[in-house]
Every structure is written in structure tokens, then in C-alpha cells.
Amino acid sequence: MNKITRRNFLNIAVSTGVLSFFGLQGISCSRKKKELFVYNWPYYVSDNTIPNFEKEFKVKVTYDNYSSNEEMQAKIQAGAVGYDLIFPSDYMVGVMRGQNLLEEFDMKNIPNFKYIEERFKNLEFDPGNKYSIPYFWGTTGIGYNSDKVKDKVDSWSILWDEKYKGRISMLDDIRGLFNPALKLLNCSINTTEPTKIEEAKQMLLKQKSLVKAYTADTYVDFLKSGDIWLAQGYSGDVFQALKVNKTIKFIIPKEGTDMWIDNMCIPKGAKNKEIAEKFVNYILKPEVIADISNFTWYANANSASLALIKPEIRDNPAIFPPKEVLDKCEFQKDLKEVNKLYEKAYNNIKSV
């Protein structure tokens, strides 16, 4: 063949259409690489997670981030059917189930579900785990710079202390923003009482002049750099900052807080559902999820992974809180129509 190898001949033939002459049009189709489109929180996988999956399963992963449940929900509601896997928090799973935005899992494709700890299965927002697989869990608390903040940090009330004006950040999250105020009012974070929601709103309006930023992700960088000294934040995020700035500490306030669990879900109409289920099953391998916990410093829901997690993470009560602390924590619930009261109050705070 005049020094043209068979492989080169096929490559030329594909590009020039010669294959159609030989009736071999199907050869080029087999070369199309499988794809997976993931939509997740920032700082939520290790450096190894995606590359190792791509290599093992011969899949190209496109990985995008969002900074709040509502941002993700809005995108899916608007018809962003290009995503195959999302990671909503507990209450948002319930919301999206009710809006018919999620696909049911084929559990035959997820045998590693057996490793999920029993207390994280069959929760109120998704009985039977038809639409969600537990991923990470944790608490919201206060991250602070111990070099700059010399007061005792044990209460949400410090986020209202005027001496820290311009050095405070709060979560840019409709429900999450209200939790510190509600706890200081001795209320459940799931209160449906309009008067209590209004009281919490007034507290947050009074606090607003002290707040440098409302953010669900960039506070990590602010803590690292020292631009903020006190942050309402997620446990694992604060420990990400601690790895860079050793003066950073994390506490769960004495009034209690929200306990959350983020989940792996497949959006309705996902084009690569089976590959998404393979990714979920891969994530649930004890060695894979332990590697992610060791990288992110988040607690996972996989009991078989605990022996593989670094002792400084596994034995840290701020990451794996003891029972007496967890007893003061609540899961955030879908409050149906009352959600609109929180949304209205949130919009009022942000617009003033």
C-alpha cells in the first residue's frame, strides 16, 4: 500500500469519505468517547477523583460548579438537561422530587450503596433512596481567624459584634442565612411562624452594615487571605482554608446549627444516566470516598471508608461531632409554601 499502514489508510479514509465506498461507515462511530456532565459544589472532589474515573471507564467528564442549591435548581428548572449528575442538599432533594426534576436510580447499577451508613438511608426527604444517594454530610458553623479574634468564639452572637465590622461574611443562601438568627431567637431553623421569620429578618438587617460579603464559596479565599476574620461557613470549606492558614479555627455554636447532607442525584432527562450511575458507584468505593474526605476534610456517609480516613479528620469533633452536639442540630426541611416567606425576606435583606 505504498508505505501507508492500514491504520493510516483508515484514518485517511474516515476523513475523506472513502469508507462509504467500502461500506465501512460504522468504523468512525465506535471512536466517539463516552461523556459525563457533572454539576457540583466547589472544593468537593479530590484531585484524583475525575482523572481516575476517566481513565478507568474511558469517559470524558465535564465538571462545573455552583454556589447554592437555588442556583443549581434554577438552572435545572430552566431546562439545563445537559447535566447528568447533581449534588443537592437534603431539603432541595425534596423540592426537586416534588417538581419532577429527578430520575429514579437503577440500584442494580449501584451495588456499593451497601456501604452507606444506616442512619443516612431512608431519610424524610427521599424515603427509600429512590432519587438520592448520600455523599457528604456536616454542619454549618463559624470559621474564624484566631490571630485576629481574641474574644471567645462559641456563639452565633459574635457575628453581630460591631468591633468586627467589615470582617464578617455570611452565607448567600436563602434558608441558610437565617439559621444563626433563628437559633439566637431559640427557634427551629424550620420554623413556619411568620413573626419569627420577620424577627430573624430584622436581626439580619441590623447586622448588614457589619457584613463584608454574602457568599457561599469565596469566603474560603477571604479566610485564607485574612480579608475576613469571621465567617458563617460549612465545616469542610473552613478546613480547606485551615490547610493554607493555620490560624483558622472552626466551631459549632452552642445554640446549635443545621446538619446537612449533600446527595448525588440524576436530573430528569439526563442523556448519560447509566454512566452517571457508574460514577456514583465509583464514588461509593470506600477507597475513593476516603480519598475525597482526606482531601476536602468533609465527613462522608460511607461507613466502610472510616478506617481509611486520616485520624486527624476522623477523630476531629468539629468534623465528626459527638452525639451531644448532634442532638442540637437539625436537618433543613422543605417548608413548601412557607419557603416563599424566607425568599421574600432574603430578597429584602439583599436589596436594602
Which distant-in-sequence residues (6+ apart) come within 8 Å of 273 by Cβ? Answer: 84, 103, 106, 266
- Total of domains in the chain: 2
Task: Kindly state the helix (H) or strand (E) to which residue 168 belongs, with its residue range.
Answer: strand 168-170
Banded model confidence at residue 7, pLDDT cuts 50, 70, 90: very low
Q: Are 252 and 258 in contact (CB under 8 A)?
A: no
* Those residues with Cβ within 8 angstroms of residue 334's Cβ, 6 or more apart along the chain or in another chain: 91, 92, 94, 95, 98, 125
- Residues 265, 255 share a domain: no
Residue 87 falls inside a structural domain: yes
Residue 16, pLDDT > 80, answer: no
12 has a pLDDT exceeding 50: no
193 half-sphere exposure, CB direction, 13 A CA radius: 11
- Cell numbers of 259, please? 446538619
Same domain, 144 and 201: yes
Rounded to 5 degrees, what are φ and ψ at 220?
-60, -45
Round to whole Å and give the CA distance between 83 and 81: 5
Confidence of residue 30 (pLDDT cuts 50, 70, 90): very low
In a domain, 21, yes or no: no
Q: What is the pTM of this model?
A: 0.79
Domain match, 96 and 111 both: yes
Query: What confidence category does residue 43 fall into, taking pLDDT thresholds of 50, 70 and 90?
Result: confident
pLDDT of residue 80: 66
Predicted confidence (pLDDT) per residue in 245-302, tens digit: 999 999 999 999 999 999 999 999 999 999 999 999 999 999 999 999 999 999 999 9
**204 inside domain:** yes
Which pLDDT score, from 0 to 100, does residue 20 have?
40
Do residues 334 and 219 share a domain? yes
Question: Same domain, yes or no, for 35 and 118?
Answer: yes
pLDDT > 70 in the chain, percent: 90
Helix residue ranges per DSSP H, the chain: 6-16, 19-22, 49-57, 69-77, 90-98, 179-184, 194-207, 219-225, 235-244, 273-283, 286-296, 311-314, 323-326, 339-351
Q: What is the CATH number of the domain that holds 185?
A: 3.40.190.10
Beta carbons of 190 and 332 less than 8 angstroms apart:
yes
Q: What is the pLDDT at residue 240?
A: 85
Q: Indicate the range of 20-29, 192-201, 233-242, 293-302 predicted with least confidence.
A: 20-29
Q: Which residues pair with 233 in a beta bridge?
A: 141
What φ, ψ does residue 142 adopt, rounded to 5°? Answer: -115, 120
Residue 43 lies in a domain: yes
Among candidate residues 81, 92, 229, the one with its CA nearest the CA of residue 167: 229
Q: What is the pLDDT of residues 112-130, one digit of tens each?
A: 999 999 999 999 999 999 9
Per-residue CA distances from 183 to 86, 89, 156, 179, 258 (Å): 30, 20, 8, 6, 10
Residue 32 has what pLDDT?
A: 63
Indicate whether 21 pLDDT > 50. Answer: no
Average pLDDT rounded to a whole number, residues 217-222? 92
Range of the domain at 268: 31-137+261-323
Please check the confidence at residue 19 and state whether its pLDDT lies above 50. no
Residues 239 and 335 in one domain: yes
91 lies in the same domain as 199? no
As to burial, measured by CB atoms within 10 angstroms (0-12 exposed, 13-18 middle, 19+ buried), residue 323 is: exposed
Q: Which residues contact 5 (CB under 8 A, 6 or more apart)?
A: none
Check if the beta carbon of residue 331 is closer than 8 Å to that of residue 123. yes
- What's the mean per-residue pLDDT of the chain? 90
Residues 158 and 253 both lie in one domain: yes
- Shared domain check, 153 and 221: yes
Structure confidence at residue 33 as a pLDDT band (50, 70, 90): confident
